[in-house]
Amino acid sequence: MNKKEISVSILDCDFNNIEQEINKINNSSSDYIHIDIMDGKFVPNIAFDNNTIEKVNLYSKKKLDYHLMVNDPNDYILKCVKNNANIISVHYEENDNVLNHLISIKKLGCRAGLAINPSTKINQVSNLFEHIDILLLMSVQPGKGGQKFLDTTFKKVEESKKIIDEMNYEIDIEIDGGIDNKVSKKLFNLGSKILVSGSYIIKNQNIASAISNLRD
Ligand code: DX5
Ligand code: ZN
């Protein structure tokens, strides 16, 4: 099996001690830092300001995985590129220009991710698969950390994996929301490549063991 990758979401970490928080992740076996960008419109909450994004980039030694929960990704894509994005994911929902966004993310040298809400079906988005590097399946309603994982996600991983394999697409499946060690094994076994985890990791005193629990 491919390497099981972990992307630590910093949404609920202690921003008064951001350098220490990022250093804890730097010293762990995490593969990415997951940065949730929220505009207060696509989702009710707002995160993060420029200053915070720049600090995360400054302190991070990990690859950066940006998740844009915003109405107009154009306002944010360049900012992510300037701040060392490896992955930039844009939502399918309420976005008439999603294909343009995916194409421009790739042109700017990053991996293009398509994020979909729990209610969006795989067959609504499979025509975009030829343009993406990452399929980000939300396993909670986007907007905040600490929510319960939705079991309906398992079937969506299976469905998307089947299409990706049949069509020989090079797409990594990433899952985001409510992930703990009870669901991680099954998600990896079904063909997910990257698991995002926020509260499960951040709440755990020992980040290293939380991350290895997600992998084993
Ligand atoms: C939810 C965010 C997630 C979230 C993950 O809208 O996109 O990245 O922070 O945190 P947990 O693991 O606590 O659900
Ligand atoms: Zn996210």
From the CA of 199, give the closest atom in ligand 1: 13
Ligand index nearest the alpha carbon of residue 142: 1
Q: Tell me: the pLDDT tens digits for 47-102? A: 999 999 999 999 999 999 999 999 999 999 999 999 999 999 999 999 999 999 99
CB 46 within 8 A of CB 39: yes
Q: pLDDT at position 202, please?
A: 87
Q: Which residue has the tokens 């990990």?
A: 62
Instruction: Give the domains, in start order, of the chain with CATH numbers.
Output: 5-215 (3.20.20.70)
- CB count within 10 Å of CB 22 equals 22
- HEC string of the chain equals CCCCEEEEECCCCCHHHHHHHHHHHHCCCCCEEEEEEEECCCCCCEECCHHHHHHHHHHCCCEEEEEEECCCCHHHHHHHHHCCEEEEEEECCCCCCHHHHHHHHHHCCCEEEEEECCCCCHHHHHHHHHHCCEEEEECCCCCCCCCCCCCHHHHHHHHHHHHHHHHCCCCEEEEECCCCCCCHHHHHHCCCCEEEECHHHHHCCCHHHHHHHHHC
Q: pLDDT at position 2, please?
A: 72
CB 134 within 8 A of CB 171: yes
Cα(127)–Cα(65) distance, rounded to whole angstroms? Answer: 23
* Ligand 1 lining (C-beta closer than 6 Å): 9, 11, 34, 36, 67, 140, 142-147, 176-179, 196-200
Q: Tell me: the pLDDT tens digits for 89-136? A: 999 999 999 999 999 999 999 999 999 999 999 999 999 999 999 999
pTM for the model stands at 0.98
Cα(136)–Cα(142) distance, rounded to whole angstroms? Answer: 12
Q: 99 C-alpha vs ligand 1 centroid, how far in Å?
A: 24
